[in-house]
Amino acid sequence: MTLRMLSVSLLTLLTVGSASAEGSNDAGLKPGAPLFVERAIADARLAGQGSFRWFGLLIYDAQLWVGPKGYQAAAPDIAPFALDLHYARSFDSDSIAETSIEEMKKTGEASDERYGHWLQQMKGLFKNVVKGTHVTGIFMPGYGARFFLDGRALGDITDPQFAHAFFAIWLSPKTSAAGLRKKLLANIKPIEPQ
């Protein structure tokens, strides 16, 4: 089996539900938010981090960055947040987009037409990743999502419904990676009503 076929097979199998999240990896992670995250989220702080593994293989390390208003699952439009994935393996962009759609379908309820449109948008925007690549998505309330590859802007998908569905892959209670979700939200406290 070629390395490309193995990568595609691994990514495809992630959607089966056999995935598990392992403990966080504090070693080597910078305490401050990347500059491009700070530009989108004033006073960004690390809410949580963890590793996504599949049958023992590290796929990526993830970090969730939030601002002073934090992240509220019941009201995610309250403030922007960023999710950074630091890949430990190579994957092609089409496989990433296709797997994202499969995971979005597990956590959401959009129409097939909408999922098809989002798939095409992601295929046009996402790039191949190799070991060490950082892909960062920034949730922008009422606007959509902005994506970065190693700190360089890839572009935006200007659809708030897409942004909700995309970030639900990791943050929804219905996620296939419940252990990782718990670690990403480890330092999130509910906002008290005023």
Round to whole Å and give the CA distance between 66 and 40: 10
Helix axes 93-107, 160-171, angle to 10 degrees: 90
Q: Which of the following CATH numbers is that of domain 3-184: 3.40.50.11900, 3.50.70.10, 3.40.50.2300, 2.60.320.10?
A: 3.50.70.10
| Domain spans of the chain, in order of start | 3-184
Enumerate residues 6+ apart whose C-beta is below 8 A from 6. none
Residue 2 has pLDDT above 70, yes or no: no
Where does the pLDDT of residue 62 fall: very low under 50, low under 70, confident under 90, or very high at 90 and above? very high
Collapsed DSSP state (helix, strand, coil) of residue 154? strand
What is the reported pLDDT for 109?
Answer: 87
**Which is nearest to 179 in space by CA: 170, 187, 188?**
170
What is the reported pLDDT for 31?
Answer: 62
Round to whole Å and give the CA distance between 112 and 97: 15
Residue 22 has pLDDT above 50, yes or no: no
Which has the higher per-residue pLDDT, 17 or 179?
A: 179
Collapsed DSSP state (helix, strand, coil) of residue 42? coil
**Which is nearest to 130 in space by CA: 175, 85, 173, 171?**
85
Model confidence pLDDT, tens digit, residues 104-153: 999 988 999 999 999 999 999 999 999 999 999 999 999 999 999 999 99
pTM: 0.82
Where does the pLDDT of residue 21 fall: very low under 50, low under 70, confident under 90, or very high at 90 and above? very low
